[in-house]
Amino acid sequence: MAGFLKVLFRNLLEGPCTDPYPFGKTFSPPSIRGKVLINPELCMGCGMCVYSCTAKAINITPLSDASGYTITVWRNTCCLCASCKHYCPMGAMSISDDWHLAHAADEKYALVERHTIKFTPCSNCGAMIRPLPLPMLKRLYAASDVDPEKIRSLCPKCRQIEAASQIVQNSGADAAKAENS
């Protein structure tokens, strides 16, 4: 009896602890999952996010003239599980802390994150490819002396040949160096 009276009295003294939101500020914890964002620089269109998305919110469709693809996230069906972020090999998906998602119903289909990503021709053979992002290349060829900048604009086949020839050249140079010394 006295216990709850004490609690009530203390509540009265301490005053309300209500957030002034939506008329004032509120807080967002750092780990909050808000809107999903795609970094079009990094996306390769591999489809891992489409496969892992539990709510089928992500869609990758090739353009009709096969010159690229569009990647779409519909926020109205995204359940913020962040598995796309977890499985994306390129790290292109990210979850922002922006949770202001309430909207009038006529904007229902406007709540989309959409990026059209164009292919570029291979500088050697001219096949349409999506060039690997530079950070990824740097990571892939970290152990060898291949210059990632040079092979970036090549299609996978030409890249293999180019990388192999670079490695051979380098090792030849190394061998020559060793002989000279």
Distance CA 45, CA 70 (A): 9
Round to whole Å and give the CA distance between 113 and 38.
8
Between residues 38 and 78, which has the closer beta carbon with respect to another protein?
78
Tokens 């990026």 — which residue?
115
**Distance of alpha carbon 26 from alpha carbon 42, whole angstroms:** 33
Position 4 contacts another protein (CB under 8 A) = yes
Q: What is the dihedral of CA 48, 49, 53, 57, to 10 degrees?
A: -140
Amino acid letter for position 84: C
Q: Which of 40, 41, 56, 61 binds another protein (CB under 8 A)?
A: 56
Please report how close the Cβ of residue 11 comes to another protein at its closest, in angstroms.
Answer: 5
| Least spacing, CB of residue 131 vs another protein, in Å | 34
Q: Of 44, 46, 50, 81, which one interacts with another protein (CB under 8 A)?
A: 81
Q: How many CA atoms lie within 13 A of 119 on its CB side?
A: 19
Q: 9-38: which residues touch another protein (CB under 8 A)?
A: 11-12, 14-19, 21-22, 26, 32
Q: Does 75 bind another protein (CB under 8 A)?
A: yes
Contact between 103 and another protein per CB under 8 A: yes
User: Counting every residue, how long is the chain?
Assistant: 181
Binding residues (CB under 8 A) for another protein: these are: 4-5, 7-8, 11-12, 14-19, 21-22, 26, 32, 54-56, 74-81, 99-105, 107-108, 111
